Structure 1
Amino acid sequence: MFFKAYFINFGFLGDTLPALLPQVYVAYDPVSAKDLPNGKTRIRQRIDFLMILPNLKRVIIEIDGKHHYAREDGRADTKRYAEMVRVDRELRLRGYEVYRFGGAEFYNDQNTPEDNAVSVVKDFFTALFKQHEIL
């Protein structure tokens, strides 16, 4: 839904539309391996979407379901949440902008999830593209 809504809203930008790459693995720079625990040479983190803007700014977009912050029984999992925000900090320190959407943003009783996605995506990317002078 998110991917489709992106093109519905911004396809008019044609060749200047920044690519929105789904399901990308971000490999951490081996140069920083000495700082990683247990002698690892790099960490792999799968992200929902990666976008590289014309100014070479890297943007990560995550769509979070409850598995990002809750156990299977639906109760909050503070360790899982803490790990998620720790990884976000590391990504930001490596130059990425990180934006998270709660999956529930796309569901309400008034509209279909697809209609909500079009609206949420339009608002977000309009603001992001203005900030980076794409619009």
Structure 2
Amino acid sequence: MVVEVDGSQHYTRDRGRTPDTGKYAEMVAADRDLKLRDYEVFRFGHDELEHLDDAKALLGQFLPDMFQRYKVVR
């Protein structure tokens, strides 16, 4: 399993001012390579986790669902 937190540097240039389709293409190609190696890729956008309360709520929902899916024993 791979968990990634993506900021704008993953798909822009000029410090986030200009979309960069080449960088985006590299990112999705890397995702495909990981998936072909049987990794599950979960991506979060930086803005989803920027504020503590929002991050807690999101991860409070995501992590139990993920553990259930993979039946991780605590």
TM-score range, shorter-chain basis?
Answer: 0.7 to 0.9
Structure having the larger proportion of residues in strand: 1
Aligned mates of 1:132, 1:62 — CA distance in 2: 18
TM-score between the two structures when normalised by the length of structure 1 = 0.50
Are 1:118 and 2:60 counterparts?
Answer: no
Instruction: Determine what percentage of the aligned residue pairs are the same residue.
Output: 40
| Partner secondary structure for residue 96 of structure 1 | coil
1:84 to partner: Cα distance? 0.3
Q: CA offsets per residue over residues 16-52 of structure 1, 9 Å max, x none? A: xxxxxxxxxxxxxxxxxxxxxxxxxxxxxxxxxxxxx
1:69 to partner: Cα distance? 0.6
Aligned mates of 1:96, 1:103 — CA distance in 2: 21
For 2:69, the equivalent position in structure 1 comes to: 131
| Partner secondary structure for residue 62 of structure 1 | strand
Which moved further from structure 2: 85-94 or 125-134?
A: 125-134
**Which segments of 5 or more consecutive residues in structure 1 lack a partner in the other structure?**
1-58, 108-112
1:126 to partner: Cα distance? 1.4
**Which segments of 5 or more consecutive residues in structure 2 lack a partner in the other structure?**
none
For 2:6, the equivalent position in structure 1 comes to: 64
Aligned mates of 1:124, 1:78 — CA distance in 2: 29
TM-score between the two structures when normalised by the length of structure 2 = 0.87
1:69-108 matches, cutoff 5 A: 69-73=11-15, 74-107=17-50
Q: Tell me the number of residue pairs that the alignment of Structure 1 and Structure 2 aligns.
A: 72
Query: Which contiguous aligned blocks of 4+ residues in structure 1 show a shift greater than 3 angstroms?
Result: none
Aligned mates of 1:104, 1:69 — CA distance in 2: 14
1:120 to partner: Cα distance? 1.2
